[in-house]
Chain A
Amino acid sequence: MKTRKLLRHRLDTGRHSIATALLTSCILAATLSANPAHAAGTLAGTDIQNIASATFDTAGGPVTIQSNTVVIKVDELLDVTVASTDPGDVTTSPGATGNVQTFRITNTGNGDEAFGLTANVANGGDDFDPTLQQIVIDTNNNGVFDAGVDTVYTSGVNDPVIAPDQSVTVFVITTTPAGVVDTNRANVSLNAVARTGTGTPGTSFAGAGQGGGNAVVGSTTAQATANGFLAVRATSVVLLKSATILDPFGGNRPVPGAVVTYSLVATVSGTGTMNNLVITDPIPVGSQYQTGTITLEAAALTDAADADAGAFTGTSITVAAGNVPAGQTRTVTFRVLIP
């Protein structure tokens, strides 16, 4: 729809001589500003219409005329950015399923555009490759992965269509292999490509733009990739057993009547906390457990299976050491008699 405005404003400021600048001089004098990457901007398909009008006086009175109308259609600019929106590495553990990494895809072009998504779990330069389970679109747009609510993405079937300057959140769901160890990291990247087309900036697709114009690849090349990292947080425990002997003669020989004190030192290493650490040790065959000698961190425990952490089962001792942060040790002792 062409709109024509007729303006009949008369002179109201100082007059100037007729500008006779040639077009060439205009261009040479003009400041050349680099075009910054525009987010959205004028919507694709918008018509830019220019029309000038003039008023003047003749002997016959005032006259108003209009120029021709120049119409230019704004083409669709294909631009996209992808960013990892996780605050840092996403924690995982050996064999963990359902790792959730979050990415945001933003249409920085000026038309509605469908984007194809690809997750790459086999990037180089990292310690392990997780297995891709799913790419999921944050359908309810709450920024949180809701299993069974958010829609599983299938390339070419439900490519998200994003309006200019709008974003879509996508979750990449992966499984961590069992063989990884603490501090291992994995790079999981997400790539988004404009379905209309990609290429070097300036590449155009005739008639493919929204609103009937062309589509032109913008400065982002119409595709973008972002990296996100998984980091393994795992604990391991090493149990060290030692024995000291006190014989009836004040020496340290394993003779009948000697009492052996066993010491079990559990050392937790890695990152995080080892939960529900239980230390058990069978009573050596041929020896006799000395009742009431279980200690944990030098504190005496009872032999009964009760609220207290220690117990003697008849053939072995067991101590529930609880949750032990990495870097700490728990020491259990008990005594047996060599009959």
Chain B
Amino acid sequence: MMKSLKTNFTALLALTGASSAFAATPLQLTSDVYVERQTERADGTKKVTLEKPTLVTPGDSLVFVVKYKNVGTETASNFVVTNPLPAAVKFDGTSDGLEIVSVDGGKNWGILGNLRVAKADGTTRPALRSDVTHLKWNLNQPLTVGAEGKLIFRGVVK
């Protein structure tokens, strides 16, 4: 069964300390990674479970969860979350497709279908998921006090 998504409070405390240069840390941002396992039930159907990644090998499917919450006392606006993709992970999509991506290390951004990658001969080709280096979400609603949400994307260990 799916394990509950526990907030890593230790990390949050560390985060608070690291951000003390600001007047306050009104937002919490936490990152979790799960590995997806497929097992076959007795009747032949497949069951998919998410586990804490104790064993990860090339080809495994990972689910990344970025949670955010406004724990401050004022509304945050122009809220943008960026997640560089680990080098050993190939992007495998999001559930809602609301992200924009970069295929050049974060210089240019756009919807994946609109991006192109330069080839050695000087021409370009359409960008693929395997080209993605960064993910970004632009949330156009002000994040009011207490508001929270999560961003989910999938990857495959190269």
- Which A residues have a C-beta under 8 Å from some C-beta of B? 5, 7, 9-21, 23-27, 29-33, 35-38, 40-42, 46, 48-60, 62-63, 65-70, 72-77, 110, 204, 214, 216, 218
Contacts and interface: CB of A to CB of B under 8 A. Distances in A.
Contact of A10 (B58, B62, B80): B80
B63 A18 contact: no
Which are the 4 A-B pairs with shortest beta-carbon distances? A41-B58, A68-B11, A15-B140, A26-B95
A66 to B, nearest CB: 7
B95 A41 contact: no
Interface residues of B, number: 80
Nearest to B105: A5
Given A52-B81, A54-B79, A65 B109 contact: no
Given A16-B137, A60-B24, 7 more contacts: A7-B84, A13-B111, A18-B141, A18-B149, A20-B149, A35-B156, A52-B82
Contacts of A77: 57-59
Contacts of A53: 29, 81-83
Contacts of B14: 68
Interface in B69-95: 72, 74-84, 86, 88-89, 93-95
Nearest to A53: B82
B124 interface: no
B157 interface: yes
Contact of B60 (A35, A50, A60, A66): A35
B67 to A, nearest CB: 9
B58 A110 contact: yes
B80 A40 contact: no
Given A26-B95, A52-B66, A58 B76 contact: yes
B69 to A, nearest CB: 11
Contact of A65 (B15, B50, B63, B78): B15
B58 A56 contact: no
Given A11-B78, A18-B141, A35 B61 contact: yes
Contacts of B75: 58
Nearest to B151: A19
Given A10-B78, A10-B80, A110-B57, A65 B27 contact: yes
A27 B50 contact: yes
Contacts of A35: 59-61, 156
